[in-house]
Chains A and B, each alone.
Chain A
Amino acid sequence: MDWIRQPAYRLVELFRSDPSKIVDYVDSVYDRIQRVEPLVKAFITIRSREELLEEAQRIAKNVDSYVLPGILVAVKDNISTRGIRTTCASRMLENYVPPYDATVIERLKRAGALILGKTNMDEFAMGSTTETSAFFPTKNPWDLSRVPGGSSGGSAAALAAGEATLALGSDTGGSIRNPAAFTATYGLKPTYGLVSRFGLIAYASSLDQIGPMARCVEDLALLLQVIAGFDPRDATSLPVAVPNYLEELNRLWHEEPRLRIAVLRSLVEVSEEGVRKVFEDALNKLCSRHECEDVEVPYRDQIVAAYYIVAMAEASSNLARYDGVRYGLKTSFEGRSWIDVYTEVRTKGFGYEVRKRIALGAFVLSAGYRDAYYLKALRFRRLLKEYFDGLYKRFDIVVSPTMPILPPRLGELVSDPLRMYMADINTVIANLIGCPAISIPIGFYNGLPVGLQAMSKPLNEVTLLYLGKELQESLGYANLVSEVIR
Chain B
Amino acid sequence: MVGVCFAVMSRNVEELIDYLERLVLVKFSSDERAKLAQELPKILEFFRALDQVKELERYEPLFYVHDVPGRVRDDEPEEPWMKHEDLAMNAELVGEGYVKAPRTVVE
Binding site for B on A (CB under 8 A): 96-97, 99-100, 192-193, 206, 232, 235-236, 238-239, 299, 301-302, 304-306, 308-309, 316, 320, 323, 325-328, 330, 333, 335-343, 346-347, 350, 352, 355-356, 358-360, 362-364, 366, 368-369, 372-373, 375-383, 385-386, 417-418, 421, 432-434, 458
- B68 and A239: CB pair below 8 A? yes
B103 CB → nearest A CB, Å: 6
Smallest CB-CB separation from B106: which chain A residue?
A337
The answer to whether B50 touches A235 (Cβ under 8 A) is: no
Question: Which 10 residue pairs spanning A and B have beta carbons closest together?
Answer: A434-B65, A378-B61, A327-B90, A382-B62, A99-B86, A359-B20, A337-B106, A341-B102, A381-B62, A379-B59
Contact of A383 with B59 in the complex, beta carbons under 8 Å:
yes
Q: Which residues 8-44 of B have a CB within 8 angstroms of A? A: 8, 20-21, 23-28, 32, 35-36, 39-40, 42-43
Contact A383 B56 (CB under 8 A): yes
The residue on B at minimum CB distance from A99 is: B86
Asked if B99 and A325 make an inter-chain contact with CB atoms under 8 angstroms apart, the answer reads: yes
Known: A309-B47, A336-B106, A359-B24. A299 touches B53 (CB 8 A): yes
9 contacts between A and B (CB under 8 A): A96-B90, A97-B90, A304-B46, A325-B91, A333-B101, A337-B104, A338-B104, A347-B27, A458-B66
Instruction: Tell me, in angstroms, the Cα distance from A342 to B99 when the chains sit together.
Output: 15
Contact of B50 among A306, A335, A355, A385 (CB under 8 A): A306
Minimum CB–CB distance for B54 against chain A, Å: 10
Contacting B46 at CB < 8 Å: which of A99, A301, A352, A362? A301
Residues of B in contact (CB 8 Å), total 60
- Cβ-defined contact, A336 with B102, below 8 A: yes
From the candidates A308, A309, A358, name the one contacting B26 in the complex (CB within 8 A). A358
Of listed B35, B61, B82, B99, residue having the most chain A CB within 10 A: B61
Does A100 lie within 8 Å of B90, measured CB to CB? no
In contact, B65 and A362 (Cβ under 8 angstroms): no
Instruction: Establish whether residues B25 and A343, one from each chain, have CB atoms under 8 Å apart when the complex forms.
Output: yes
Judge whether B61 and A238 touch: CB under 8 Å: no
B61/A379 in contact, CB under 8 A:
yes
How many angstroms between the C-alpha atoms of A320 and B26 in the bound complex?
A: 11
Q: Cβ of B5 and Cβ of A236 under 8 Å apart?
A: no
Question: Is A99 a contact partner of B82 (Cβ separation < 8 A)?
Answer: yes
List residues of chain B with CB within 8 A of the CB of A206. 63-65
| Contact across chains for A192 and B65 when beta carbons are under 8 A apart | yes
- Assuming the A-B contacts A235-B70, A458-B66, are A302 and B49 also in contact, with contact meaning beta carbons closer than 8 angstroms in the complex? yes
Complex: how many Å from CA A96 to CA B51? 42
The secondary-structure label for the interface of chain B is loop
Q: List which B63-107 residues lie within 8 A (CB) of chain A.
A: 63-66, 68, 70-73, 81-82, 86-93, 99-106
CB <8 Å contact, A238 and B66: yes
Please tell me if the beta carbons of B5 and A372 are within 8 angstroms of each other in the complex: yes
Q: Is the CB of A379 within 8 A of B56?
A: yes
A385 / chain B contacts, CB cutoff of 8 Å: 62, 65
Q: How far is the CA of A335 from the CA of B106 in the complex (A)?
A: 7
| A residues less than 8 Å from B99 (CB atoms) | 325-326
* Cα-based distance from A323 to B104 in the complex (angstroms): 13
**Is B43 a contact partner of A352 (Cβ separation < 8 A)?**
no
Known: A96-B90, A309-B47. Is A362-B39 also a contact (CB below 8 A)? no
Contact of A333 among B23, B86, B89, B100 (CB under 8 A): B100
Report whether B50 and A339 are in contact in the complex, using a CB–CB cutoff of 8 Å: no
Q: Are A372 and B61 in contact (CB under 8 A)?
A: no
Considering the complex, give the chain A residue whose CB is closest to the CB of B94.
A326
Contact status of A333 and B62, CB under 8 A, knowing A238-B68, A352-B32: no
The residue that A375 contacts in the complex, of B26, B49, B61, B68, with Cβ under 8 A, is: B61
Query: With a CB–CB cut-off of 8 A, which chain B residues contact A325?
Result: 91, 99-102
Are B105 and A350 within 8 A (Cβ)?
no
Question: Is A302 a contact partner of B4 (Cβ separation < 8 A)?
Answer: no
Residue of A nearest to B89 (CB): A99
Contact B60 A347 (CB under 8 A): no
Complex: how many Å from CA A343 to CA B23?
A: 11
Give the complex CA separation of A330 and B92 in angstroms: 8
Chain B proximity of A384: nearest CB distance (Å):
9
User: If the complex has contacts A325-B102, A326-B91, A379-B57, are A342 and B70 also in contact, measured as CB distance less than 8 A?
Assistant: no
User: Which residues on A sit within 8 Å (CB–CB) of B100?
Assistant: 325, 333
CB nearest neighbor in A for B23: A362
Which B residues lie within 8 Å of A192 (CB)? Answer: 65-66
B24/A358 in contact, CB under 8 A: yes
Tell whether, in the assembled complex, residue B26 and residue A328 are in contact, meaning their CB atoms are under 8 Å apart: no
Indicate whether A378 sits within 8 Å of B63 (C-beta atoms), given known contacts A235-B70, A417-B39, A418-B43: yes
B102 touches A380 (CB 8 A): no
Question: A193-B66, A305-B49, A363-B23 given. 20 additional CB < 8 A pairs?
Answer: A206-B63, A238-B68, A326-B88, A327-B91, A333-B102, A336-B102, A336-B103, A337-B104, A338-B104, A342-B25, A343-B27, A359-B23, A360-B43, A368-B4, A369-B4, A373-B47, A381-B62, A382-B62, A418-B42, A418-B46
Taking a contact as CB atoms under 8 Å apart, the answer to whether B72 and A235 are in contact is yes
Q: Determine how close the nearest CB of chain A comes to the CB of B6; give it in whole angstroms.
A: 11
Distance to closest chain A CB from B97 (angstroms): 14
Residues of B within 8 A of A383 (CB): 53, 56, 59
**Interface contact A339-B25, CB-CB below 8 Å:** yes
